[in-house]
Amino acid sequence: MIEVYQKENVICVEGTIESFGRKVFVYLVDGMLVDTGAEKLQKELIRFYKEHPMDLVTLTHSHEDHTGTAAWIQEHLNIPIYLHHKSIPLCEQPGNYPEYRKQTWGGRKAFRALPLPETIRSRTQEWTVIETPGHADDHVSFLNEKTGQLFSGDLFVAPKTKVIMDSESIPLIMASLRKLLKYDFDSLFCSHSGYFENGREMIEKKLQNLEKLTLKVQSMNREGLSVEEIKQKIFPLDYPIIGFSENQWDSRHVVTSIIEGEHQ
């Protein structure tokens, strides 16, 4: 199911995968589509694409819930699709990722992307492409320095982090949040939690929470507690995604990435 509404000058497409209760957003601003949603939403997204002319697609990263309809767009609309150069070869092959992610979001057909330049132009606006790794190593954010609007992909998601994927890194996420805070921005468009008028505040809040969490983990680690013990103390709840993903998502990765980050 998709819902379409406008925030500021941005058309927000809020997609919900009903069977899993998961959300993913696609945004259209000034003829530029930011991310392409999940294949599971393709039928409805195609209807949206046909009603809303666009000139280019920019992708925040290559995960299947952001690139699920890129192949359709390429084949039917023939507009350029920009992606971090690291993932261009990966996306020229059909998506290869765990079954639980295919069940949730669907597949990701092969498509040909162009490397993201440092700044990208839509019809009338200019967007600074900011490398913000941590959630994924090909992750970027798009900032309009004139309007203060920021598209942050999967960097923000929630002010409090409880579970992450094994490929994510808390220290890198924190470095990226700090990098964003050096820029001037107000509103935030997140790919999983939507629009925030007070985006800057939300990013600051997330960073503060991660700083506190890091100090906690580091001090427990120094006291000699094991990863499992630290996890049990800080994250005692067993989130459904942990079992469903066979531990690709786990609170344990939050703990280990902080401990490993300290030794780097």
Instruction: Provide the binding-site residues for Zn ion, judged by CB under 5 A.
Output: 63, 154
Q: Looking at beta carbons only, is 63 or 231 nearer to Zn ion?
A: 63
Smaller CB separation from Zn ion, 129 or 217: 129
CB of 221 to Zn ion, least distance (A): 28
Spatial distance between the Cα atoms of 203 and 184, rounded to a whole number of angstroms: 12
Report whether 14 contacts 44 (CB < 8 A): no
- Give the residue with the Cβ less far from Zn ion, 107 or 148: 107
Q: How far is the CB of 119 from Zn ion (least distance, A)?
A: 23
- Whether 9 and 1 have beta carbons less than 8 Å apart is answered as no
Task: Using the CB atoms, write b or e for 141-171: b if 16+ within 10 Å.
Answer: bbbbeebbbbbbbbbbbebebebbbeebbbb
Q: In sequence order, what DSSP letters do the residues of 37-64 get, joined into one string?
A: --GGGHHHHHHHHHHS--SEEE-S---H
Which residues on neighbouring strands pair with residue 17, listed in sequence order? Answer: 22
Between 63 and 252, CB nearer to Zn ion = 63
How many helices (H) and strands (E) the chain has is answered by 10, 15
Q: Return d(Cα 94, Cα 107) in angstroms, integer.
A: 8
- Whole-number minimum distance, CB 249 to Zn ion, in Å? 11
Q: Closest CB to Zn ion belongs to which residue?
A: 63
Q: Taking the complex as a whole, how short is the minimal distance between the CB of residue 209 and Zn ion, in angstroms?
A: 20
| Nearest distance, CB of residue 233 and Zn ion, angstroms | 28
Q: State the nearest-atom distance from the C-beta of 135 to Zn ion, in Å.
A: 6
CB-count exposure of residue 4 (10 Å: 0-12, 13-18, 19+): middle
Which of 232, 35, 1 lies closest to 141 in space, CA to CA?
35
For Zn ion, give the closer residue by CB, 154 or 250.
Answer: 154
Residue nearer to Zn ion on the CB measure, 34 or 220: 34
Residue 158 Cα to chain centre, angstroms: 11
